[in-house]
């Protein structure tokens, strides 16, 4: 009988310890502002990637980018595998007035994800090998030579509380748009592939934009985008592919030329993370309610 009572007492003590630890953990989560569940967030006005303009004049009309063909749409099964219906896969043709210049083709693929805490983004290394292509060289990080002279510092940033962001001009809206942090050190993760069926080499590269910051790898997305103190989480994959680029460096140069025009339009289709952190967007942002309660 005494042994039975001892066992019951031990179980009760164990249960109390577990309950106490659970309560302490919940209190710590509340005090530290930890959010283990992320809220989904979309761009203002519900803008999606497929609405990106199809033509970009380039600087002084010397270089122009125009859509080549119609956007590629995935089958139902492929779209389910991609994991989002907010995507675009579009070919652009680069033309120039300079005689003798090569006419380049560049495919851009953008895909948007939100509200997911534990996910592995799709990347060319996996998708293209699965599609029958083979590696034709090593993967490397290549700087993207964005034209920094076309960007300005955000005049509305609070230098005491915020990292100053850069802004580019949107031709679509005729206004300045915030670009993600790190755009001044943007890199592409580039891999050359061989398409044996069409007897050609394809150079593909990508980066991510996650919670208002550019990132170079899927692992970086998982580490940064799902910050436990943030209420929301999103990331977008921005991917380039070219059958005419002769090297990873040339792919980065072509991507930079297109991004000089396209980057602000991409950012119009993503949440402005500065506004999210300030509690200004979306309208039901918990940060706004918390500020009102405290103030």
What residue numbers bound the domain in which 28 lies? 1-32
Our measurement of the distance from residue 212's CA atom to the centroid of its chain's CA atoms, rounded to an integer in Å, reads 8
Say if residue 20's pLDDT is above 60.
no
pLDDT range class, residue 100, cuts 50, 70, 90: low
Q: Are residues 17 and 105 in the same domain?
A: no
DSSP for 18-32 reads HHHHHHHHHHHHHHH
**In percent, how much of the chain has pLDDT > 90?**
56
Q: Are residues 142 and 200 in the same domain?
A: yes
Q: Are residues 19 and 103 in the same domain?
A: no
User: How do residues 105-117 score in pLDDT, each as one tens digit?
Assistant: 999 999 999 987 5
Whether residue 238 contacts residue 206, with contact meaning beta carbons closer than 8 Å, is answered with yes
Q: Are residues 3 and 130 in the same domain?
A: no
The per-residue pLDDT for 119 is 58
Which of 24-28, 143-147, 183-187, 202-206 comes out lowest in average pLDDT?
24-28
Q: How many domains does the chain have?
A: 2
Cα distances from 44 to residues 48, 95, 149, 269, in angstroms, run 10, 33, 28, 7
The torsion angle over the Cα atoms of residues 142, 147, 151 and 153, rounded to 10 degrees, is 50
Q: Are residues 9 and 68 in the same domain?
A: no
What pTM was estimated for this model as a whole?
0.83
Q: Are residues 92 and 133 in the same domain?
A: yes
Distant-in-sequence, close-in-space partners of 192: CB < 8 Å, separation ≥ 6? 135, 136, 137, 201, 202, 203, 204, 248
Cα distances from 213 to residues 48, 166, 183, 227, 242, in angstroms, run 19, 12, 8, 12, 25
pLDDT range class, residue 192, cuts 50, 70, 90: very high
How many Cβ atoms from other residues are within 10 Å of residue 29's Cβ? Answer: 13
Q: Are residues 2 and 43 in the same domain?
A: no
For residue 112, list its beta bridge partners.
Answer: 236
Q: Are residues 227 and 102 in the same domain?
A: yes
For residues 266 and 121, the model is more confident at: 266
Q: Are residues 28 and 5 in the same domain?
A: yes
Q: Are residues 8 and 147 in the same domain?
A: no
**In percent, how much of the chain has pLDDT > 70?**
79
The per-residue pLDDT for 102 is 76
For residues 57 and 109, the model is more confident at: 109
The per-residue pLDDT for 24 is 37
Q: Are residues 25 and 60 in the same domain?
A: no
Q: What are phi and psi of 219, to 5 degrees?
A: -65, -40
Residues in the chain: 295
User: How do residues 113-160 score in pLDDT, each as one tens digit?
Assistant: 998 755 566 676 777 777 788 888 899 999 999 999 999 999 998 877
Q: Are residues 201 and 161 in the same domain?
A: yes
């Amino acid at each position: 009988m005494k042994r039975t009572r001892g066992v019951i007492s031990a179980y009760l003590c164990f249960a109390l310890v577990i309950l106490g630890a659970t309560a302490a953990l919940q209190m710590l989560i509340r005090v530290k502002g930890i959010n283990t569940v992320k809220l989904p967030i979309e761009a203002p006005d519900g803008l999606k990637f497929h609405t990106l303009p199809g033509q970009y004049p380039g600087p002084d009309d010397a270089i122009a980018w125009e859509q080549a063909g119609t956007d590629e749409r995935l089958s139902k099964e492929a779209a389910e595998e991609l994991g989002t219906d907010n995507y675009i896969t579009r070919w652009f043709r680069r033309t120039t007035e300079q005689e003798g210049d090569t006419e380049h083709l560049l495919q851009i693929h953008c895909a948007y994800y939100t509200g997911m805490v534990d996910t592995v983004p799709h990347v060319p290394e996996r998708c293209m090998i699965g599609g029958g292509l083979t590696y034709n060289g090593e993967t490397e990080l290549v700087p993207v030579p964005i034209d920094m002279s076309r960007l300005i510092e955000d005049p509305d940033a609070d230098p005491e509380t915020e990292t100053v962001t850069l802004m580019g001009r949107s031709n679509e809206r005729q206004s300045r748009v915030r670009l993600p942090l790190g755009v001044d050190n943007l890199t592409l993760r580039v891999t050359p592939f061989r398409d044996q069926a069409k007897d050609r080499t394809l150079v593909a590269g990508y980066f991510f934009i996650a919670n208002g910051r550019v990132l170079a790898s899927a692992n970086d997305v998982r580490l940064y985008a799902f910050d436990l103190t943030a209420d929301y989480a999103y990331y977008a994959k921005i991917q380039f592919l070219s059958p005419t680029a002769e090297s990873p460096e040339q792919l980065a140069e072509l991507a930079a030329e297109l991004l000089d025009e396209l980057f602000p339009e991409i950012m119009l289709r993503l949440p402005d993370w500065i506004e999210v952190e300030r509690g200004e967007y979306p309208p039901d942002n918990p940060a706004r309610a918390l500020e009102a309660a405290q103030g």
